[in-house]
Structure 1
Amino acid sequence: MKIMIVGASRGLGRALADGLLHDGHAVIGVSRQRPADLDIADGTQLQWIAADMADPAEAVARIARAAPDDLDAVIYNLGVWEEKAFSDDYAFLDDSDEAIVDMVNINITATILLLKRLVPRLLNSRKPQLILTGSTSGLRQSGRPEVTFSASKFALSGIADALRESFRAQDLAVTALQLGYLNTYDGLSVPLAQAAERGEGELIPVHDVVAVVRMLLSLSNVSFVRELVMPAIRDERF
């Protein structure tokens, strides 16, 4: 399959790129910069597009020029949060207006503009798939106070619902992955059992998310997963 991963340079995005390349898929990675430590085996099909979503119009134009005309799947894994998010120091009233506008531009505006360019390329596939990595912070009664990040992830669910209905007749499978707290310190090179120990049950290894994505990509073209909520087992919010 020919798969684009937006936000592929580190953390979950990097794990997805590493895992899907290992599976033999052709991967198009998108991030601000190409990682310097990519270890590409012979025969691996990898393309990288450098684009900074902080400037949505420029980034979208750059990606649209460089992306293949045909894609089988897009994994949209991009999202930024407040400087003090997920800490006791977070305070909505301390967020600057400029920081809020930047988050909305990156998390919502750039997403909509880029998907407008990429969906037609997906529709050329026999089995078009769009996977949006959301967050449990964007769910109702999430228990999180981060206003702008939560709002942007709630918006992502709306984008998924609307795209699903807009292109249902073209068999576009749209999945929203609502992910809890991730262990982004340990990549796929770290054994799963070891990665699962970090956080004492409160952090999801990226290995598990990669396994879920592999499952989604392996489904037939007559079924799809609409939404999957995936918190850590000791996340008391769920």
Structure 2
Amino acid sequence: MNILVVGASKGLGKALIEGLGSAGDTLIGVSRTRPEDLIVDAERNVRWVEADLMFAAKAAHTIEQAVIDDGLDTLIYNLGIWETLAFDPAYALLDSPDEEVQAIVSCNITSTILLIKRLLPLLLKSAHPRIILTGSTSGLPQSGRPEVAFGASKFALRGIADSLREGYRHQRLAVTCLNLGYLNTEDPLSTPLDLAAQRGGGQLIPVHDVVQMVRMILSLSAASYVKELTLPAILDERF
């Protein structure tokens, strides 16, 4: 299986590169720079593509050329940016610069669509093509969050997923949107799960749990798929 993870240099993306795949699989990470402390075993082939999705068209071309020869089975789009004061009581739309709003929409929506458009012909050649989009609970109705550009972009991910399913249902394209709550990205996958789960006092989700959910999705047969998966922290009072 060839798995491409976009936004893989740190946090959840890095954990996905370290935690997914089996012997003989290829993991391809995409980020502006490759992390130096990546932990991978010798049984899986790990490659890296350096690309900046803020420059959507150029990055999409670079990534396509990097995977075109070996093909692609799964695209995991984990990239996303948010307002400088997002998740801070001081956030206010009126204080968010126009350039910041444009950058969030470009990176979180435009780049996503352009990259999928580039890679879709390769994915559809796979016997089991899959796209997994890392969304957010901020993209759900009545999320309780005020961040306008970030929230809109995560709502858009769900729309992208719905439209792709309808457009390529007969090619058996499985598209999943993960609606994730607040993550503990301080503790890497190498941290024992019991210890990582303590951070945040029930308000944060260890990346271990997300990796486990993605493993489950990738283990399904071609006869089914997970449409959406909402994973909030246990003490998140919004859900």
TM-score, normalization: structure 1? 0.97
C-alpha distance in 2 between matches for 1:40 and 1:210 = 15
Matching residue of 1:79: 80
What is the 5 A alignment of 1:142-181?
142-181=143-182
C-alpha distance in 1 between matches for 2:150 and 2:181 = 14
Which amino acid is 2:8 matched to? A
Worse overlay, 76-85 or 14-23: 14-23
C-alpha distance in 2 between matches for 1:40 and 1:16 = 11
Tell me if the contact between 2:30 and 2:51 (Cα under 8 Å) persists in the aligned partners. Answer: yes
Matching residue of 1:45: 45
Tell me if the contact between 2:18 and 2:39 (Cα under 8 Å) persists in the aligned partners. Answer: no
Which amino acid is 1:107 matched to? N
- Tell me how many residue pairs correspond in the alignment: 238
String of CA shifts for 1:157-194, please: whole Å, max 9, x gaps.
00000001110000000011100000011111000000
String of CA shifts for 1:121-166, please: whole Å, max 9, x gaps.
1111111111111000011100000000000000000000000111
Distance 1:8 1:175, change over 3 A: same
Gaps of 5+ in 2: none
What is the 5 A alignment of 1:24-43?
25-43=25-43
Please say if 1:193 is aligned against 2:194.
Answer: yes
String of CA shifts for 1:20-72, please: whole Å, max 9, x gaps.
15665310100111112224443430110011111112111211221234111
- The list of structure 1 runs, each at least 4 consecutive aligned residues, that deviate by more than 2 angstroms after superposition, is 21-25, 38-44
C-alpha distance in 2 between matches for 1:226 and 1:72 = 18
Distance 1:2 1:149, change over 3 A: same
C-alpha distance in 1 between matches for 2:181 and 2:112 = 21
C-alpha distance in 2 between matches for 1:191 and 1:40 = 17
Please say if 1:12 is aligned against 2:12.
Answer: yes
Tell me if the contact between 2:134 and 2:177 (Cα under 8 Å) persists in the aligned partners. Answer: yes
Tell me if the contact between 2:179 and 2:231 (Cα under 8 Å) persists in the aligned partners. Answer: yes
Which amino acid is 1:123 matched to? L
The alignment's C-alpha RMSD in Å is 1.2
Gaps of 5+ in 1: none
Please say if 1:202 is aligned against 2:203.
Answer: yes
TM-score, normalization: structure 2? 0.96
C-alpha distance in 1 between matches for 2:44 and 2:25 = 8
Give the % identical residues: 60
